[in-house]
Structure 1
Amino acid sequence: MPEGHSVHRLARQFGSVFVGERLSISSPQGRFAAGARRIDGQTLVGSRAHGKQLFLTFDNDLELRVHLGLYGAWSFGGDDTFRGASSIGAPRRVGEQETSDDGEELTYAGPPTPVGAVRVRLVASHGWADLRGPTACEVLTSGESAMIESKLGPDPLDPHADPEAFTARVRRSRTPIAALLMNQSVIAGVGNVYRAEVLFRRRLNPQTPGRELSTTDVQALWSEAVAAMLNGVRNGRIVTTDPLIWGGGVATPEEAHYVYRRAGKQCRVCNAKVLVSELAARKLYWCPDCQS
């Protein structure tokens, strides 16, 4: 599932490419035809991310809310003025780093014929965007969007977020911290990769109940999430390891993480074997020595 850094990159890309444009909006697949009619021909006036949720705001006081879920992804293209990633979305579809599908310069002769189940197509004067496979895709009023956002926890990528709200929710809970980090009402945007990596970087046992962590520990965990996710926004992929591990240049997928998807391999710090178990229906990776 795309984590918060990918959705913030989406919001930036929509902001730089489509905000201020009057958009032609359709549903080639047909499943979003009624919603598309409500915003077709309107001007996009804003885009924002809150955790894993993307909100596109139009000049008729309606918003398109998208949650990509496990399989959703956006693809983009445009003329020679278009600048941005060609695909952003589910790792299973496009990988952790956004790249052009064919590795070549994008060309534009109008949007291509839709391929596959395109839920929504947005077309502007210089580019287009196609959405496939989202968990949620709906048109809301600004008030309805505000209600959804009010139920989400603070977002580490929001410079105005209140980390004290995160600290308070963690320290009053008996739930293991590894489960709390995946709860979007506690902290918005952290997924399975960031969960495993920030816990390792803080040397925290993932099974520790939130209420047993000190305020200092929880505040440091928030700061770790902020730093890691900001790096993800800058680079378009999740790399949490120290550059000394990959010796400069670009980290390979094998070098990018301390524990995530490294079950049975040696810990990069202490050489113990990385363990994996299941928590809240997701695989949890950790080092039994560094995070004891």
Structure 2
Amino acid sequence: MSAVDSVPTTAPKKSAAKVDPNTQPRSVRRRNAALGLLAWIIGILFALPILWMILTSFHSEGDAATNPPSLTAPLTLDSYREFFGAGGGASPWFALANSLTASLVSTALVLVLALPAAFALSIRPVRKWTDVMFFFLSTKMLPIVAGILPIYLFAKNTGMLDNIWLLVILYTSMNLPIAVWMMQSFLAEVPTALIEAAQIDGARLPVILARVIAPIAAPGIAATALICFIFSWNEMLFARVLTGVVAQTAPVFLTGFITSQGLFLAKVCAASLVISLPVLAAGFAAQDKLVQGLSLGAVK
């Protein structure tokens, strides 16, 4: 073998050198430190009201109403006991169950309806699909308060006032445009070669959606589901106007602590914390899917 033949045709790749922060210019290090400190300050400012609400919920009504508020006031669970009906008040379990039912069922319906629509607008685009997307967006331009009167009259004439299934229908229609917009961008990232291969194997559209597209777009679907669940859980205007006792949701139940006798601040903070826990738990459980789904398609 000649010496030329023994020479490798490609040179070995050099590993990327890591930048030592200590070798950076002092001005760059100062700027990075200032930006880091600013980020911490902004984060603390955003978290401070939540931390204050948690602390206030463990105070008595007298200590919670002091001005200025006391940080060293004794802690108690009286507000939580009264919220859960231990003091003879109304129990929140029925309202929490209504919110959970309306949020879960409407979110499931939104996903079932939005997935085929997003498929048609991204992978198999229809003619003038941009006009269709604008139509979906235009349905969110009308404020809810502008349409609450005809919806109330319709519910009254059809006997659907104080009915949880009316809220399911309204929450589904409210979140469907957002879900279509989000999932259209997610499904646009699905390789069309996989869909064509499934079609060659004889798979029909329902099978393709369930076994090919859904696993690939799972992060985007999870992010869409979580956002729709949060919007449905936090919605109060429809629930306040269209429900009474039977279909009362958790946000409406929360307003019951604001009475003519005054604002029960400790009870409101305790109730707000308990009502926020399902959303926080869902976001914490799906945080990896949420981040992955919201960053899908971003420029890297």
After TM superposition, is the score higher than 0.5?
no
- Structure with greater contact order relative to length (CA < 8 Å, sep ≥ 6): 2
TM-score, normalised to structure 1's length?
Answer: 0.18
* Structure holding more strand per residue: 1
- Greater per-residue helix proportion: 2
